[in-house]
Amino acid sequence: MTGIYQDLVKSLGGQVATAKALKVSQSTISGYTTGRWNMSELAALRAEKATKGEFKAVELCPSLKDLIDPLTA
């Protein structure tokens, strides 16, 4: 799963720019890209907005699928 985070960072212009866009610390972004932890729902939603949908929140944070699926069923 870390590959998508690395792609996100590249798309947004580096870890510092990604951290600013997602309103998290650079060390949090580093944690995503190295696989230390997964992205939170809020950060994933911010990433989708920052990339104008290029990266989907549900792909960045799979736990969102559990929240979204019951609403569409």
In the chain, the percentage of residues whose pLDDT exceeds 70 is: 89
53 contacts 2 by C-beta, under 8 angstroms: no
The total domain count for the chain is 1
**CATH number for 42:** 1.10.260.40
Range of the domain at 61: 2-72
Count of Cβ atoms closer than 10 Å to residue 19 Cβ: 19
pLDDT of 15 > 60? The answer is: yes
Angstrom distance (rounded) from CA 71 to CA 17: 33
């996100």: which residue's tokens?
8
pLDDT of 73 > 60? The answer is: no
Question: pLDDT tens for residues 21-51?
Answer: 999 999 999 999 999 999 999 999 999 999 9
Angstrom distance (rounded) from CA 66 to CA 15: 28
